[in-house]
Chain A
């Protein structure tokens, strides 16, 4: 299995002389060596394959929905089919793709490397998380085959207790996926607490670690509530326990409280790790030390804590006392402060930096623009009076797609391109990478901006047919057509992105150890990293001292500047 000798034969390529023969990808062979691996890097790669597959599946559902909406009235599917399609689009994208997306793929790969550890704290739990993810995916496939799901991804009662579609398999799938997410969270918290390399104090951690830590807090504290809610829903359907059913004195609105107590914090499970990725990318590609490190770090934790107190903003029209609504509205406004702190610190980092428009940075810039729109339109929905008008319209759909696709997905792509040379040991074609970023940016805007206009003028979400609205709003159809064209453009963009990445695996140039000039620890080990990451435990310094690295054209990568002073206990000149 293990190639003991190979490591000794190959020169370590920290200086960028090409991938070492013995790395985590070649360390062992065969399907079993992957499915039963305890290596966080291999688990991340398997997660990546599964998650991208889910994204494509969810994307196909989205394209079918957008195609149906090109014309009023039936276009390509029946009403029932349409309900299934938008439900499955949401459920697959949320539970299978975006919640595990950044933590389980990029976090799993990068976190131990970033903190200078050999693995996460509990490698078996990590593998269990992957297996649970796969079991959850199987439940969703079963759902597709035994009647589909037409409740919307939110499973709202009382409809979800009565529909004949396959609520129970889907609910069990979400339950299992919840535990997958919890296991990742437990692992990350323990890893960050106990496995940091010598010298890495809390405030010398890369900001991606802070973001993952804050995310893990939410995963651990919020997800169990979703678990019990789903069990209650299943019990409601099978046993008629009546907790959510007015027929026996229960209350359907209680379901909404339970559901959003998880699902609002869950939007931060989606976006927080993305913000962590952006913090890394912006600093490295501006060739500047990150600005306001502590503010960015604390704001991650603040978002995680504050995010638990605002779930009521999903229910302003569901029946809530005016006092409670006002409190939830005020808290919702205040939770935008830490997000804005991050954005301004990123902008300040870029200020007077020497910005390189490499692909990850293109995505980071797209993120700033799209997340800005997504975040600011959230305030319209947090305002009580406007929310009554905008609730359940396309405005909401556009808002959360700007945050989820424009924010979380774009950040995922930024991180994927950023760490791709480290993951695969190959470089993708930079021009094609940039083209993919540009097309994605245009596609997302073209898809979702018209939906803001539709929604603000009263087009309700989840409608199959809008013929009745065309008398008063004849331009609704053009806006729907624009949105659908945007969806097709996005599909083309994603094809370019995935094609570029897959091409690089087979044809890409070998990547140097440090292609971007990052100062965090993962760039100190070879690309791809050896089986257990670091031959000896590294010592951590300032993770954003990027100007200690200079470009070496000979290897097309960065190397540490030769120190002006001889190494020793004497203080090295500071970089700022």
Chain B
């Protein structure tokens, strides 16, 4: 209390370069960052939670809409995308391990593969969206199905009985959930690309790999949300 606070300008010699001035140790800094990241993921879950809640409400009130409309989604493309995202989670986890073990080339390679997987996922999503667009299978206000006989996308209208009222609400939920998820994929690609650049410059080491670790946590959450979206939207009932 009585000594002058001249120490604030002169950093102690043993202060590591990655340690911010308000932390005492690298470990304290890492743990604080990790806690902050988990809290952010919690907010993401609640953010999506609103849409999951809307899904639950409308599926409970109008199960027939969901059973009827889900046939318009392409299960194969959805399954491919699920596999691609799960694989990208593996490469992302591997990237963290590479960073922890000072393997710079491995880290760069893993991040690059993750980025490519994310790109493939968005490419497949683009194909799905453009098919829906062509057939007018859009959200409620813009829902105008185009009848093209012989088109596989329109086949169910006969096989699965009468079209129920308000089918558009299924596509509203589909586009909102997958669209918001897609935006998170895009955001994740941006962060991974940035981490990739830093990794190529050798910024990370076994001493300092927190950004890689935190990005991976985020990416796993994006993957996890898709793992819920796929069965909820594509794999409904008979």
Contacts and interface: CB of A to CB of B under 8 A. Distances in A.
A248 B141 contact: yes
Interface stretch (A7-15, A49-57, A277-285, A439-447): A7-15
A125 interface: yes
Given A12-B3, A121-B36, A224-B43, A239 B21 contact: no
Interface in B148-188: 165-166, 168-169, 172-173, 175-176, 180
Contacts of A11: 4
A254 interface: yes
A193 interface: yes
A265 to B, nearest CB: 11
Given A121-B36, A190-B32, A248-B140, A535 B62 contact: no
Given A240-B139, A242-B168, A249-B62, A220 B39 contact: yes
B13 interface: no
A204 B6 CA distance: 29
A117 interface: yes
A535 B6 CA distance: 8
Interface in B46-99: 46-51, 53-54, 57-58, 62, 65
- Highest count of chain A CB atoms <10 Å: which of B2, B6, B44, B65: B6
Nearest to B1: A14
Interface residues of B, number: 52
A553 to B, nearest CB: 21
A235 to B, nearest CB: 7
A503 interface: no
A229 B23 CA distance: 37
A251 interface: yes
A556 to B, nearest CB: 19
B189 to A, nearest CB: 21
A248 B62 CA distance: 12
Nearest to A535: B5
The contact size tier of chain A is: 35 or more
A243 B39 contact: no
Nearest to B8: A532
A531 interface: yes
Interface in A110-125: 112, 117-123, 125
Nearest to A238: B141
B43 A220 contact: yes
A12 B28 CA distance: 29
B51 A228 contact: yes
Nearest to A194: B32
Contacts of A531: 8
Contact of A117 (B1, B22, B35): B22
A248 B28 contact: no
A537 interface: yes
A119 B176 contact: no
Contacts of A275: none
- Highest count of chain B CB atoms <10 Å: which of A14, A182, A228: A228
Contact of A232 (B3, B10, B176): B176
Interface string A113-153: 00001111111010000000000000000000000000000
Contacts of A235: 176
Contacts of B24: 537
Contact of B21 (A118, A121, A187, A225): A118
A543 interface: no
A562 interface: no
B168 to A, nearest CB: 6
Contacts of B44: 224
B39 A535 contact: no
A112 B20 CA distance: 15
B6 A8 contact: yes
Contact of A123 (B22, B42, B175): B22
Contacts of B36: 121-122, 125, 186-187, 190
B40 interface: yes
A193 B6 CA distance: 28
B140 A12 contact: no
A241 B141 contact: yes
A250 interface: yes
A187 B33 CA distance: 10
A41 B212 CA distance: 31
B42 A220 contact: yes
Interface in A213-252: 220-225, 227-229, 231-232, 235, 239-243, 245, 248-251
B140 A195 contact: no
A224 B2 contact: no
B142 interface: yes
Contacts of B8: 7, 530-532, 535
B2 A4 contact: no
B139 A2 contact: no
A11 B57 CA distance: 66
Nearest to B23: A195
B42 A254 contact: no
A122 B30 CA distance: 11
A258 interface: yes
- Highest count of chain A CB atoms <10 Å: which of B2, B36, B51: B36
B54 A224 contact: no
Contacts of B147: none
A180 B24 CA distance: 27
Given A194-B28, A243-B54, A532 B21 contact: yes
A81 B5 CA distance: 56
A195 B32 contact: yes
Interface in A457-513: none
B196 to A, nearest CB: 21
A177 interface: no
B141 A242 contact: yes
Given A119-B22, A242-B172, A7 B43 contact: no
A189 interface: yes
Contact of B50 (A248, A251, A258): A258
Given A194-B31, A220-B39, A228-B51, A8 B4 contact: yes
B2 A12 contact: yes
B139 A242 contact: yes
Contacts of B22: 112, 117-121, 123, 195, 532
Contacts of B143: 248
Nearest to B170: A249
Interface of A: 2, 4-5, 7-12, 14, 22, 112, 117-123, 125, 182, 185-187, 189-191, 193-195, 220-225, 227-229, 231-232, 235, 239-243, 245, 248-251, 254, 258, 524, 530-532, 535-537
Interface of B: 1-10, 20-24, 28, 31-33, 35-36, 39-40, 42-44, 46-51, 53-54, 57-58, 62, 65, 139-143, 165-166, 168-169, 172-173, 175-176, 180
Give 8 nearest A-B pairs by CB, closest first: A240-B141, A249-B166, A242-B140, A228-B50, A248-B140, A535-B5, A118-B22, A224-B47
Given A122-B36, A232-B54, 11 more contacts: A112-B22, A121-B35, A123-B22, A224-B44, A224-B47, A241-B139, A250-B169, A254-B54, A530-B5, A530-B8, A535-B8
